[in-house]
Amino acid sequence: MHGPIMQLGYVVGDLATSVDIWARRTGAGPFIHMPGMTFGGWTYRGAPQAVTLDIAFAQLGDKMIELIEPSGTWPNVYGEAPLQPGECRPHHHAFLVADLDRAAALLDAGPPVTTGRLNEEVELRYYDCRSTLGLFVELITDTASTRDFFVLSERAAAQWDGAAPYLISAESVA
């Protein structure tokens, strides 16, 4: 692994409220909205699970901030139950890695809590590292398309004047 933490992930109770709070209080933004995200092969503790994520991404310095409002089956990797509007909880550090199995072995955290696929090339896995690293660790396959996604967020931040709207569609930046 030994690369930089690319993303800091937070679970939220209401995406729009949390985006507004993050943008006004930290200057992160603009947040790129990706509603209704689902992933192929999504599992929780080894069993298939139906979860839909409303996600918003933004840059804060050199880190991507990911806000996640999950819906669907509970419990899941994001918690035992949905959070209340306005609540925000730290969830994960994310790394882009060339070899997920090798990076997982370095974590020494046991089997993944959750797995999913963005497409044929890109897999993601969450490992429970809360007792050793403080949060879950998300490993994401390092490909040109995943790197482009991080660049998209950086480009949006570089062009943003800090004013509302804080939440924009992915199509408006692409």
In what helix (H) or strand (E) does residue 102 lie, and over which residues does it extend? Answer: helix 100-107
pLDDT truncated to tens, each residue of the chain (174 aa)?
A: 678 999 999 999 999 999 999 999 999 999 999 999 999 999 999 999 999 999 999 999 999 999 999 999 999 999 999 999 999 999 999 999 999 999 999 999 999 999 999 999 999 999 999 999 999 999 999 999 999 999 999 999 999 999 988 999 988 886
Residue-wise DSSP of 51-82: EEEEEEEEEETTEEEEEEEEEESSSBTTBSSP
- SS3 call for 132: helix
In this structure, the number of other CB atoms found within 10 A of the CB of residue 22 comes to 22
State the pLDDT at residue 1.
Answer: 63
Residue 5 phi/psi, 5-degree rounding, is: -70, 120
C-alpha–C-alpha distance, residues 56 and 42, integer Å: 20
